[in-house]
Structure 1
């Protein structure tokens, strides 16, 4: 039997584990007949994952039914309510969407290499299929492993950060905000490929520094990285590493880091509170390749280890006139 030609449909079937065979109406009928949830709830969870209405064509597989069965069983057990499950689903959708984009963008180059080599299939889809067949299952196992490890670390952080008894989602941390100086102007003068390499190098080095000193990267925004630490010493050490590894590289733009300490809300994998905003605003008054902090952070740094210098008051958007503090190790 001749091999099936490479096609978008074949790649989709390989990625989904089955060919789409159910329309929205047909899925709704299955939900009504087999599951203990309403079709509207099924649509809410689909949207919470980040997907639009697929229209009238065949878009769903038996695996979609299995996923909705998991939702139905969880709600029936009553351990989590509908709103909590929707928030968890939205978190999964948002995180995995970014991961999928990252994975595909990373592997695009490898697809091009395979198609230009002696093992070319004659189709980019063919090489994509080959990559998925070889990488898909191992990466799936690695993803599950990483999730368990990060889940354990997240639980430990809630305890280690001393979350307030009245609200486990509120705790005091030191927030760090690292920002590439003049990145918008710099990017206007360089190619898209150069911009991509710089952003990747910046995020890689910043993330390594955060991991090394026990912090957590909350999010990256291309030209900036937001992270949190249990205390200001680790937050400073991260900032110092970032300045040295990024600011000290002549092929990368300069960098500046703002630090602020205070209570934050931990929600949806993000952090919220005045300390987050202040750390970001601090970078607007920091010099190139320097670390600047608020007074609370400076007061918490051990005096025998750090030199602090209060700078003249200057306006900080949203906070009025503040006296930022330049900090460095003795």
Structure 2
């Protein structure tokens, strides 16, 4: 085939680059990729990605065909794709792959099992948000590793294909493991909560104070900034939390969970100090860094594998979700544990009913007490 006559070498003047392009085109043709698709990919400057795109699935079905094939309403198939954060195609556009058919088949199994459509779509929405960030971060990692001066199109295409063949299956295994670990932790929280209700306490529980600090507006920020920038913000939160807890033992950083950090301490006074310092440290990062808010609760919790479970964990997390940006809000039990310490200024807030808590929770905004004037 005369690739130059077909316009597939247009704009490539360097002899080595033209030779690389020809080798790549010959390979793609031999793999069965039609000429028109090659032309479209060349015009969109994505010839080096065609191997990967083929590995990830050939666009061969319409949404209508997928719906009929698996026995689901067409609108549900389209909604599922939309909630996953993917483009919503015209029902008769031939843009879906075998992966879309498999996803729709699994959706039908969930639907047939009696799970609500609303709940399934909510899971899809959360899954789509998280995996879009994973894919964008992975894309940046691979791009930075492979886009080096002097690499020809043929080699770059091979590198992308090899990375996809290796990373895809491995990432799937890791994601399954991480999902299992998170499910285990959340189920433990549910079990501990039921045990507290049944017994009025949990065997082996110890009194602790728990704090969560989260970045305000982090999810919406993800819609406006690149994934690598979002990842840098989350990493910086982890660094700030680590620095704050290292400076004030016995406060300990338990974990960071995307846009939030979980802290624990047997000393509620020290935990309040650390929470306020962490919120202030976020303010000092400048206008481009999201503001923090924190919630603190105190009570008996159960320690397992470095994590903590029980009502105070749930209460602290819920309080964080309703705290105003730049503030630290504590439950009444935390104030009772500290007592009338002149070190703090407590501003009473309306009692709140928090999800998962069977009684209204007294709340207080906490600030350092005003310094006593000298002389």
Whether these two folds match at TM > 0.5 is: yes
1:158 is matched with which residue?
190
2:119 is matched with which residue?
84
1:21 is matched with which residue?
60
Distance 1:143 1:295, change over 3 A: closer
Per-residue deviation, residues 22-63 of structure 1 (Å, max 9, x unmatched):
233xxx13422x323211221121122122223454311122
- How many residues align structurally? 264
Per the normalisation by structure 1, the TM-score is 0.59
1:111 is matched with which residue?
146
Per the TM alignment, residue 177 of structure 1 is displaced from its structure 2 partner at its CA by: 2.8
For residues 150 and 227 of structure 1, what CA distance do their matches in structure 2 show?
Answer: 15
1:10 aligned onto 2:51: yes
User: Where do residues 276-287 of structure 1 align in structure 2 (5 Å cutoff)?
Assistant: 276-278=321-323, 280-281=324-325, 283=326
1:186 is matched with which residue?
none
1:69 is matched with which residue?
105
For residues 310 and 241 of structure 1, what CA distance do their matches in structure 2 show?
Answer: 13
Per the TM alignment, residue 99 of structure 1 is displaced from its structure 2 partner at its CA by: 1.9
Which is greater in Rg?
2
User: Where do residues 41-60 of structure 1 align in structure 2 (5 Å cutoff)?
Assistant: 41-55=76-90, 57-60=93-96
For residues 127 and 242 of structure 1, what CA distance do their matches in structure 2 show?
Answer: 48
Per-residue deviation, residues 135-177 of structure 1 (Å, max 9, x unmatched):
2222221121111111111211233356997xxxxxxx95533
Greater mean alpha carbon deviation, residues 41-50 or residues 231-240: 231-240
Per the normalisation by structure 2, the TM-score is 0.53
For residues 103 and 7 of structure 1, what CA distance do their matches in structure 2 show?
Answer: 17
User: Where do residues 1-330 of structure 1 align in structure 2 (5 Å cutoff)?
Assistant: 2-4=26-28, 6-14=47-55, 16=56, 18-24=57-63, 28-32=64-68, 34-55=69-90, 57-76=93-112, 78-112=113-147, 115-116=148-149, 120-122=151-153, 125-160=157-192, 175-177=211-213, 199=233, 201-205=235-239, 213-215=253-255, 217=257, 219-220=258-259, 226-227=260-261, 240=274, 258-261=293-296, 275-278=320-323, 280-281=324-325, 283=326, 293-294=329-330, 296=332, 298-299=334-335, 301=337, 309-311=343-345, 324-326=366-368
Per the TM alignment, residue 202 of structure 1 is displaced from its structure 2 partner at its CA by: 0.8
Distance 1:272 1:136, change over 3 A: same
Distance 1:144 1:300, change over 3 A: farther
For residues 274 and 194 of structure 2, what CA distance do their matches in structure 1 show?
Answer: 25
Distance 1:64 1:239, change over 3 A: farther
For residues 133 and 325 of structure 1, what CA distance do their matches in structure 2 show?
Answer: 53
